[in-house]
Amino acid sequence: MSTDPSADLLTGQPLPARSTRPFRRTLWILVGGLVAACVALVAVNLLTGPRLTGVDVDSTAVVSSANARLVLATNRQLTDITPEQVSIEPSAAFQVTTSANSVVISFPQPLAYNTDYAVSVRGITGTAVDRESTVRAAFSTSEPSLYYLSRAASAAEAGTRGTDRILRTTTGRADTEVAFESANIQQFVPMGSELAVVTVNPDLANALYRVDADGTAEALNLPGVGLVQDLQAAPGQSLLGFRFTSAADAAGPHYDNVLFVLDLRTNNATAVPALEGGPLSVTTWGFMANRADIVAQQYDSTLLLINPLNQSGGNPLENEPEFDPPVPLGQFANLTAFAPDGVRIAVSDRDGQYVLDLSQGTESAIVPQSVEGTTQYTAELRFLAGGAGTDSDSYVQRVAEFDAATGSVRQYLSLVQGGEARTVYAPASADETIVGFELSPNDQFLAVQIVPNRETERSDGYPVNAQATDATTLFVNVATGAVRRSVLGFDATWQ
Please give the radius of gyration of the chain, using alpha carbons only, rounded to the nearest integer.
Answer: 32
- Closest by Cα among 173, 253, 171 to 475: 171
d(CA 206, CA 203): 9
β-pair partners for 209: 197, 219
pTM above 0.95, yes or no: no
Q: Please give the pLDDT value at position 412.
A: 93
Residue 61's region, left for phi above 0, alpha for psi from -120 to 50, else beta, is alpha
Count of CB atoms within 10 A of residue 275's CB?
Answer: 13
**Phi and psi, residue 206, nearest 5°:** -105, 155
| Amino acid symbol at 285 | W
- Cβ–Cβ under 8 Å, residues 424 and 446: yes
Q: Please give the pLDDT value at position 368.
A: 63
Q: Please give the pLDDT value at position 315.
A: 58
Q: Please give the pLDDT value at position 173.
A: 85
Q: For the chain (length 495 residues), average pLDDT per consecutive 10?
A: 54 58 66 59 61 93 93 94 96 94 95 96 90 94 95 62 91 91 96 95 95 95 97 91 95 95 94 92 95 95 92 60 88 93 91 90 78 60 71 81 79 89 93 95 96 93 93 96 96 93
Q: Please give the pLDDT value at position 155.
A: 47
Edge-to-edge strands, sheet with 116-124 = 86-89, 116-124, 133-140
